[in-house]
Amino acid sequence: MEPVTPRRVLRVLAFATAVLCTLIVAVAATARATVVSEGFYQSVLDEESAYDRLYDQVLVDPKAAAVARNLLAGLPVPEAVVTSNIKLVLPPETVRELTHEQIGNVVGYLRGDRDPLDLSVDLRPVLDNINDLAQIYSGDLVASVQNRTEPDFDAFSADLSTTLEDVLAGRAPASLPALPLTEEQAAKAAEHVLAALPEERREALRADVEVALGDGDIGTVLATVAPALVSERTHASVARLRTLAGGDDWNLDRSLDLTGLHRIHPYTAVGLGIVEAVAAALLVIALVALWLTGSPAPGRRPMLLGWALASGGLLTALFVVLVRLLGGGRLVDPSTDRPSGLTRLLDDLQDTALDDMTVAALGSALVPLVAGALLAGFGWAVQVRPRPRTATAYVRPLATGASALALAGLVLVPLAAPSAPRRCEGSVRLCDRPYDEVAFLTSHNAMSTTLDRFIGPLQDPAITTQLDDGVRGLQIDTYRWERPDEITARLNDSDFSAEQRTLIANVVNRVNPPREGLWLCHAVCRAGAIELVPELREIGDWMRDHPTEVLTLIVQDAISGEETAEAFARAGLTDLVFTPDEDPAASWPTLGEMIDSGRRLVVFAEQADGPAAWYRNFYRYGMETPFSFQRPDQMSCVPHRGGTGKRLFLLNHFITAGGGSRLDAGEVNARDFVLDRVDQCERARGRPVNFVAVDYTTIGDARGAVDALNANR
């Protein structure tokens, strides 16, 4: 046993110092890579899809919905229009930019680069978007309203007042009053219209209003004054937001509990750098001392340094595990007042952040552990000093054996590996299931997306992204843009004069100019449109990239069957379309049979029935539930189009309260809600539900419900 000497004591102290300093350096490196790194927080947010979940889970939560309804109650726009356009009012890129800005402020504060902490959000872009949306909506209200002649000036003035009130309240006028006016009457009517505006804005608009009234152009009158009217009405709701936020800049310091952030600030801003620098310097000194006090025997000094570093790495790993076990896994305690969607998001973000911090810390521990092990191994190898001849004696047999094993692997592994099971729609069990016994997640008004900037969108991502997310049924609407002459033709049987019909056509042409071709629109193409053939071509490309998927299109057709067939041919889909049996009661093939045939695109129409053999009227083959529900508790299973007793069953599962309701989608798209209604309707109709049609497929878990239906059948 080596006697206790000053040299030995110094070696022990140097070893302990090296181990402790390795721990400190590893922990400090972890903190720099996580706590004071902007990239760390951004990575956690992206990893948990936080920005998508904000719209799909948090803003549709019942508690959050109540706040949204209160804030938006004063807008001259139906609630459903604002909530369905929430990604236009508050774009994801804006949320991401604002979040990254606040992350930069927090990290700068923790590093000591910014003091004091300033967390404020500029609300002006959001407030401007709300006002713009209200004005766009008000323009749509009057875009295609027909004129109606009035018997006298008093009746004209009364109806003009009613029209203004409708626009101000966010309602579409029943019609526009029309009456040839004298110059005196036009001036009087202009005064009547301008009285609804703030006094300081009247003179700027007076000339345009008087000229339009003199020409009988009520559409131009409304187009002139509506933005000003709506801006005033919108001001009250925008003022609520400003009051809540404390101005155009929302200071988050007053809304968030930042006590913990302020508590660690002194350590991260000043202490972290100093501690890391001191620990690194002491580590170098300790390693030098170990080398100098170590045994001069060959390999002993590298082994001593290696054991010190490896021990420090092992101590760091044990420290990380202990902190994780005793820390409770929570950085922020949950609050019962928060919306459940927000609570789940915060919990998931915390879990991911802690997991990533743990991985980073263990990675920091692994560096000295591996380096120490290699250094110690080198020292041991120097001590053993195997003869070169002994080492080389094993090279040839080892190489020969490795080559033989590799050759055997090339021959035997492919023979032994089992072939991958066949999958249809992602499931082995669905290949032998008939088409009419499979449930398909179906996107209602699939083309009406936020991405394509539809006014009042009913889906968020593009159609092909919906397919990537598990949608296998698409409800789409085909249209042609109305031309002014088509609108005028509808007026030929009216009592309007030729001059009045020309005036109406000119107004419509100016407000809603036509565009040639075939389009996917929702009700009116001016509220959003995408070209039909290019979109069909993209669907075909997706199907060819996914050769084991069966897709169904249910077309609300405002174009002819011949035009539809031509569009499918131009899009190159004729080799994919499936032709149903002429007898709607006949059995359907299995998904596997449809996939094997290559004919796996089923296309139905709401109106047409041909002429292409593959283009059949849905209601010959299928039945549905009603589709106009104002509230979730009104949803029923009573027969609607298609009657009863059909082999295919479409479940219309969405709320249409003045348009789609993003808020209600958070409730009705919940997995249990979908399953309960499907069970109720299947018992009532005696047939399995095939198409579960929902708005906002990314909200809730309708896909999980459909997967459960297919698994349990």
The domain containing residue 311 runs over which residues?
6-119+256-380
| Highest-confidence segment of 16-25, 197-206, 407-416, 531-540 | 531-540
pLDDT score at 400: 45
**368 close to 26: Cβ distance less than 8 angstroms:** yes
Q: Which of 57-71, 303-317, 569-583 has the lowest mean pLDDT?
A: 57-71
Residue 397 lies in a domain: no
Assign 572 to helix, strand or coil.
coil
Question: Which strand (E) or helix (H) includes residue 596?
Answer: helix 591-597
Domain boundary, last residue among 219, 250, 281: 250
Are both 486 and 474 inside the same structural domain? no
Q: Smallest Cα–Cα separation from 134: which of 229, 222, 198?
A: 229
Q: Which of 175-184, 322-331, 452-461 has the lowest mean pLDDT?
A: 175-184
In this prediction, residues 597-616 reach a mean pLDDT of: 96
| Highest-confidence segment of 74-78, 139-143, 227-231 | 227-231
Residues 6+ apart with CB under 8 A from 190: 206, 209, 210, 213
> 247-290, pLDDT tens digit by residue?
555 555 555 666 666 677 676 766 677 888 898 999 999 999 98
- The tokens for 457 are 């969108």
- The tokens for 614 are 């593959």
**Residue appearing with tokens 């009520």:** 218
- The tokens for 528 are 């959003």
- Whole-number Å distance between alpha carbons of 183 and 21: 93
pLDDT over 80 at 162, yes or no? no
Residue 411 lies in a domain: no
Are both 547 and 563 inside the same structural domain? yes
Would you place residue 49 in the very low, low, confident or very high pLDDT band (cuts 50, 70, 90)?
A: confident
pLDDT over 60 at 496, yes or no? no
Global pTM value: 0.62
Residue 220 lies in a domain: yes
What residues does 529 pair with on adjacent strands? 521
- Whole-number Å distance between alpha carbons of 681 and 689: 8
pLDDT score at 143: 43
> 438-492, pLDDT tens digit by residue?
999 999 999 999 888 887 789 999 999 999 999 999 999 999 886 655 545 544 5
Q: Smallest Cα–Cα separation from 175: which of 491, 431, 465?
A: 491
Would you place residue 35 in the very low, low, confident or very high pLDDT band (cuts 50, 70, 90)?
A: confident
Are both 101 and 37 inside the same structural domain? yes
**80 close to 659: Cβ distance less than 8 angstroms:** yes
Which is more confidently placed, 674 or 264?
674
Query: In the Cβ-directed half-sphere of 2, how many Cα atoms lie within 13 Å?
Result: 10
In this prediction, residues 325-342 reach a mean pLDDT of: 67
Q: Give the CATH number, domain containing residue 464.
A: 3.20.20.190
Q: Which of 174-188, 222-236, 303-317 has the lowest mean pLDDT?
A: 222-236
pLDDT score at 690: 97
Are both 644 and 560 inside the same structural domain? yes
Residue 269 lies in a domain: yes
Are both 596 and 645 inside the same structural domain? yes
pLDDT score at 174: 59
pLDDT over 90 at 132, yes or no? no
Are both 65 and 107 inside the same structural domain? yes
Q: What is the largest CA-CA distance in the chain?
A: 122
Domain boundary, last residue among 231, 250, 269: 250
Q: How far is CA 462 from CA 4, 426, 533, 539, 693, in A?
A: 77, 21, 15, 11, 16
Which is more confidently placed, 91 or 242?
91
- 18 φ, ψ to 5°? -65, -40
pLDDT over 50 at 141, yes or no? no
pLDDT score at 298: 84
Are both 461 and 361 inside the same structural domain? no
pLDDT score at 240: 54
Average pLDDT of the chain is 78
Residue 423 lies in a domain: no
Are both 641 and 537 inside the same structural domain? yes
Residue 424 lies in a domain: no
pLDDT score at 318: 92
- The tokens for 88 are 């236009």
| The pairing of beta strand 551-557 with beta strand 601-605 | parallel
> 548-562, pLDDT tens digit by residue?
999 999 999 999 999
**Amino acid at the residue 569:** A
Q: What's the domain count of the chain?
A: 4
Domain boundary, last residue among 233, 250, 267: 250
> 371-404, pLDDT tens digit by residue?
889 988 888 888 776 545 444 454 455 444 544 4
Are both 144 and 93 inside the same structural domain? no
Residues 6+ apart with CB under 8 A from 284: none
**Amino acid at the residue 7:** R
pLDDT score at 564: 97
pLDDT score at 551: 97
CB count in 10 Å sphere of residue 393:
11
pLDDT over 80 at 596, yes or no? yes
Peptide bond just before 611 cis, omega within 30 deg: yes
In this prediction, residues 536-540 reach a mean pLDDT of: 96
- The tokens for 169 are 């309240």
Residue 133 CA from chain centroid, whole number: 20
pLDDT score at 662: 83
Would you place residue 217 in the very low, low, confident or very high pLDDT band (cuts 50, 70, 90)?
A: low
pLDDT score at 703: 94
Q: Smallest Cα–Cα separation from 606: which of 627, 585, 578?
A: 627
- Whole-number Å distance between alpha carbons of 453 and 476: 16
**Residue appearing with tokens 């690194």:** 280
Residue 26 lies in a domain: yes
Residues 6+ apart with CB under 8 A from 508: 143, 144, 482, 484, 487
Give the orientation angle of helix 218-245 with respect to helix 124-142, to 10 degrees.
150
pLDDT score at 379: 83
> 3-13, pLDDT tens digit by residue?
678 888 898 89
In this prediction, residues 221-236 reach a mean pLDDT of: 59
Peptide bond just before 116 cis, omega within 30 deg: yes
- The tokens for 1 are 């046993």
Are both 240 and 264 inside the same structural domain? no
pLDDT score at 231: 56
pLDDT over 50 at 194, yes or no? yes
Residue 407 lies in a domain: no
Which is more confidently placed, 409 or 435?
435
Are both 488 and 472 inside the same structural domain? no
Are both 241 and 262 inside the same structural domain? no
pLDDT score at 416: 42
